[in-house]
Amino acid sequence: MQGLSETVPLGRRSGIGAILARKPLIVLALTVACLPLALLVTVTMPIGPMYWDHYIYLDAANRIFDGQIPSVDFFAPVGGLGYYLFAGWLYLFPNGHPLLLSSWSLMTVTAPLIALVVLDVQKRSPAIAYGLLLPFLFFSLLPFNTGDFYPYPGSDGFGIYNRQICQLLYVLAAALVFVRGWKTLAAVTAFAMLALLFIKVTGVVAGLVLCLMAFLTGRLPLRAALVGGGVFFAAIGFIELTSGTVSAYATDILSLVVINDTSLLPRLLQAASINFSVVLAGGLLGLVLLGSEFPAFSAATRAFVAKPSFRAIGRIADQSFLWMGSFIAAGLLFESQNTGSQAFIFLWPLLLAILIETYRHKGSSASFAIVAFLAFSAAIPPVATVTQKAARAWIGSVNNRPLEHDNLKSMGAVSIRDILSQRAQRLQTNYVAYRPAYDALAEAGELPSFLLYSDFEFQSLWLQSADDAVSAIRAFESANKVRFETIMTIDFTNPFPWLMDRHAPKYIAIGADPYRAVPQPGPRVNEAVAAVDLALYPTCPPTTARLKLLGLYQPALAPGHHRITLTPCYDAFVRNGIATAP
């Protein structure tokens, strides 16, 4: 990595081709300008595993439109930036599909930052600028994860904030490896780290590892680090003084740490096993680089022992194998806390730099061939996986049929195969007819299927049941001449206030996984639950998580609410005084 200077040219061309060849920034601008075209109408997406995960963004946006502040007014499993970006895009594109809005809204942050990187790099080499830009656009535009959690093809509606972190880490890595202007580097570093912090705190931990490595090697100059750090902490201070979000966010993080009190080592091993191909190829590449760089590393170490200095430390640290090790460590730290991600895509800027430097020193040699083979072995799996998943999902959707609904707005713009839709209906009949059996199963701590939340028929049935529930609520209101202003669900996600233009109660956790992301209710949560007009409890089927959530919230609901059967798949807790039970 020492002395890397990008001088890879593009061939001479004329006309528009020549302009685009020299100015990749134009390609970025045109791509961003085209995004609204896909958001002006509601695109139908093939349903996928854990598809309901992105409904959380609808719940959060509705709360934000009501004036609620993430972490201050409601508990969230991650930072609030992603929710604010989604809310802004939803306001601009109300007909846009929620999955595309939640995935693409991050480009509000990443597009300007990658533009700064491209602007700096294209002055020296448009080819390298394209080498950084095109993978960024590929992963940003295709809303798919690099890991497989289900055999059937479908949309990846889960792990969105994890994908966003990986895209931010990609931009940060590209800047730390290739940007030479210290002002640009300071700006990209500061705003990328801020975004990482306020989307998911583990992202800023991974980013810190990358920044420390760049600082030790001198790639992140002291003045850039000071300016970037100053902007970072000034922004945090301003946000805290104006909203109290930072301290509230820190409190939420501590609550999550307590809930998820497990050893780090098993999670690291799990992350390594899930991403085995990338980690293995990257590790082998690091060993090969260690072998070729060991003489220079030893010489730098001896020089430091003879005359210690910060510059000598930089010469020791600025070895490609150490860069590779730090990037893999950052990736493993982040992926150890994830389900669904675009794991290790941020390795590519470093791999590109290693390829350029190795070719410069080795030429078309066997050594370069080995390095290139291992580098592409680490880079290709994420690209191949996302390409395959996107192709399977959209080609396979030719045999899908759009979900029929009356009340789901753009959330219901999904398609599913007839055989799975029929299975969902048969399962619903079974859940209703034999509910005591499923209650007993949930009380025993088991789900009807080990992969229940990934099953397409579960996701389809959830949407159909929600559609029926909205119709039933409106019928109940009409019959009783009432209006439920605040609605909550005793379930993982609560898009009902958004669907019905109502309000969600404050302080109730969103993304309500009671095993990982719902603290024990305190006094203000219990007061909010007790004051809610309507609490919905889905029963098709009863699940361990729903049963646990019911145990958390029922003590606050019991004194002032009565339970009714709203639909065959939804019970409801109606606040006393709203209406008399039918």
Per-residue pLDDT reduced to its tens digit, 129-156:
999 999 999 999 999 999 887 888 999 9
Band (582; pLDDT cuts 50, 70, 90): very low
Query: What are the angstrom distances between the C-alpha of 253 and each of 249, 376, 428?
Result: 6, 37, 38
pLDDT for residue 416: 96
Measured distance CA(27)–CA(93) in Å, rounded:
23
pLDDT for residue 422: 96
Category of 441 on φ-ψ map: left (φ > 0), alpha (ψ -120 to 50) or beta: alpha
Q: For the chain, give the mean pLDDT.
A: 93
| Centroid of chain to Cα 334 | 12
CA-nearest of 360, 292, 317, 117 to 212 is 317
CA quadruple 345, 347, 351, 352: dihedral, nearest 10: 60
The residue with tokens 């920044």 is: 211
**ω into 519 cis (within 30 of 0):** no
Q: Which residues pair with 561 in a beta bridge?
A: 575
359 contact partners, CB below 8 Å, separation of at least 6 = 368
Measured in degrees and rounded to the nearest 5, phi and psi for residue 252 equal: -60, -40
For the stretch 356-386, what's the b/e string if a residue is b when 16 or more beta carbons lie within 10 angstroms of its beta carbon? bbbeeebeeeeebebbbebbebbbebbbebb
Q: What percentage of the chain has pLDDT greater than the value 70? A: 96
Give the pLDDT mean for 259-271: 81
pLDDT for residue 189: 98
Measured distance CA(392)–CA(18) in Å, rounded:
35
pLDDT, tens digit, 9 for 90 and up, residues 55-100: 999 999 999 999 999 999 999 889 999 999 999 999 999 999 999 9
pLDDT for residue 6: 55
Measured distance CA(540)–CA(537) in Å, rounded:
10
Task: Evaluate whether 382 touches 344 at the Cβ level (below 8 Å).
Answer: yes
Band (370; pLDDT cuts 50, 70, 90): very high
pLDDT for residue 8: 53
CA-nearest of 438, 443, 472 to 540 is 438
pLDDT for residue 12: 54
pLDDT, tens digit, 9 for 90 and up, residues 209-222: 999 999 999 999 99
Band (191; pLDDT cuts 50, 70, 90): very high
Residue type, 230: G
Has residue 380 got a pLDDT over 80? yes
pLDDT, tens digit, 9 for 90 and up, residues 516-554: 889 999 999 999 999 999 999 999 999 999 999 999 999
The residue with tokens 């609520």 is: 473
CA-nearest of 349, 312, 357 to 4 is 357
Band (223; pLDDT cuts 50, 70, 90): very high
Measured distance CA(533)–CA(274) in Å, rounded:
44
Query: What are the angstrom distances between the C-alpha of 266 and each of 17, 19, 263, 272?
Result: 51, 51, 6, 10
- Using DSSP's 3-state secondary structure scheme, residue 402 falls into strand
HSE-up of residue 128 (Cα within 13 Å, Cβ side): 28
Tokens representing residue 191 in the block = 């705003």
Measured distance CA(341)–CA(71) in Å, rounded:
23
Tally of CB atoms within 10 A around 83: 29
Band (265; pLDDT cuts 50, 70, 90): confident
Q: Where are the domains of the chain?
A: 15-53+64-254+262-393, 418-575
pLDDT, tens digit, 9 for 90 and up, residues 9-52: 555 555 676 777 778 999 999 999 999 999 998 999 999 999 99
pLDDT for residue 358: 95
Measured distance CA(101)–CA(124) in Å, rounded:
35
Report which of residues 559 and 340 the model is more confident about. Answer: 559
pLDDT, tens digit, 9 for 90 and up, residues 276-326: 999 999 999 999 999 999 998 899 888 888 888 888 888 999 999 999 999
pLDDT for residue 1: 63
Measured distance CA(371)–CA(363) in Å, rounded:
12
pLDDT for residue 306: 85
Measured distance CA(45)–CA(394) in Å, rounded:
8
- Using DSSP's 3-state secondary structure scheme, residue 148 falls into coil
Query: What are the angstrom distances between the C-alpha of 509 and each of 34, 99, 517?
Result: 35, 21, 8
pLDDT for residue 338: 85
Report which of residues 18 and 571 the model is more confident about. Answer: 571
pLDDT for residue 553: 97
Has residue 2 got a pLDDT over 70? no
pLDDT for residue 7: 56
Q: What is the DSSP string of 218-237?
A: TSS-HHHHHHHHHHHHHHHH
- Own/partner contacts of 3-9, CB < 8 Å, gap of 24 or more, are 4/353, 4/356, 4/357, 5/124, 6/121, 6/124, 6/125, 6/128, 6/178, 6/356, 7/124, 7/125, 8/125, 8/127, 8/128, 8/356, 9/125, 9/126, 9/127
Measured distance CA(340)–CA(159) in Å, rounded:
4
Q: Which residues pair with 324 in a beta bridge?
A: none
pLDDT for residue 581: 41
Q: What is the DSSP string of 349-395?
A: HHHHHHHHHHHHHH-SSHHHHHHHHHHHHHHHHHHHHHHHHHHHHHH
Measured distance CA(456)–CA(18) in Å, rounded:
47
